[in-house]
């Protein structure tokens, strides 16, 4: 860990799909919303679009749904419905991504600062932070895209905001992500990025500096990309 600390001062995590297993909940919420509007058959283009919802905000997802499926409701109504459907699932089934807790405790024990940067809105971040006691890992260093001028990933704003709050230069931060938008945002922020492999990012994880199956591979992946 000493050799890592010489090059990396902070590690920033995405939330959905990286810290918490929420990606399937969002997929289910989208499909349920469409099904209730009698939309159950999708073209290949639409299927790919739905898959790409990983890592985007509820507002952006609502805009895409409204445009693609010509839905009559407002973006706000659709976004609120998506969040409500996903959050109902959170209450009964949410859990940490395997190995995250042990990895985070190891980093903290060795003096590496941790931050969380998400496309979720402030209210959603707050609810999940309280439910899962995320402050034990991140303290107050948990930020929504709203904290960064409502500029969602792939804009690097939320990562740069988190680095600033941590008092660490962007190039001394490393990111764990699972979505293409998050990977693009991290790279745009001049940060190294490691992808957590999921069912939804098989075509995208190659854009990261490295990809891992689980957090048990995290330290060796960090050493590999830092060439130590």
Residues 6+ apart with CB under 8 A from 205: 183, 195, 197, 211
Q: Give the domain-ending residue among 71, 93, 115.
A: 93
Closest CA to 180 of 158, 197, 162: 197
Strand partners, 175: 12, 193
User: Does the pTM exceed 0.75?
Assistant: yes
Sign of the Cα pseudo-torsion (76, 129, 99, 161, in order): positive
Question: Are 114 and 148 within one domain?
Answer: yes
Question: Are 175 and 101 within one domain?
Answer: yes
Q: Give the domain-ending residue among 38, 73, 93.
A: 93
Question: Are 207 and 126 within one domain?
Answer: yes
Question: Are 86 and 113 within one domain?
Answer: no
pLDDT at 54: 61
pLDDT per residue of the chain (228 residues) written in tens, 0 to 9: 878 888 999 999 999 989 998 877 788 889 999 999 999 988 888 887 777 676 677 888 899 999 999 999 999 999 999 988 888 887 777 899 999 999 999 999 999 999 999 998 898 899 899 999 999 999 999 999 999 999 999 999 999 999 999 999 999 999 999 999 999 999 999 999 999 998 778 888 999 999 999 999 999 999 999 987
Note down the domain range covering 9: 2-20+96-226
């Amino acid at each position: 860990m000493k050799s890592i600390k010489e090059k990396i001062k902070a590690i920033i995590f995405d939330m959905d799909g990286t810290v918490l297993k929420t990606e399937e909940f969002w997929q289910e919420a989208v499909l349920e919303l469409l099904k209730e509007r009698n939309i159950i058959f999708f073209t290949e283009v639409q299927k790919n679009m739905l898959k790409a919802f990983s890592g985007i905000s509820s507002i952006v997802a609502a805009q895409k749904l409204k445009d693609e499926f010509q839905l009559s409701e407002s973006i706000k109504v659709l976004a609120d419905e998506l969040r409500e459907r996903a959050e109902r699932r959170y209450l009964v089934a949410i859990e940490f991504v395997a190995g995250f807790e042990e990895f985070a405790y190891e980093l903290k024990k060795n003096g590496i600062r941790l931050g969380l940067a998400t496309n979720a809105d402030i209210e959603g971040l707050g609810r999940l932070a309280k439910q899962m006691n995320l402050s034990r890992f991140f303290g107050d260093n948990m930020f929504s895209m709203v904290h960064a001028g409502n500029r969602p990933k792939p804009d690097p704003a939320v990562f740069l905001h988190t680095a600033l709050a941590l008092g660490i230069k962007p190039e001394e931060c490393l990111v764990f992500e699972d979505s293409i938008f998050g990977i693009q945002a991290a790279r745009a922020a001049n940060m190294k990025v490691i992808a957590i492999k999921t069912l939804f990012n098989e075509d995208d994880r190659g854009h990261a500096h490295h990809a891992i199956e689980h957090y048990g591979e995290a330290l060796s992946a960090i050493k590999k990309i830092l060439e130590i």
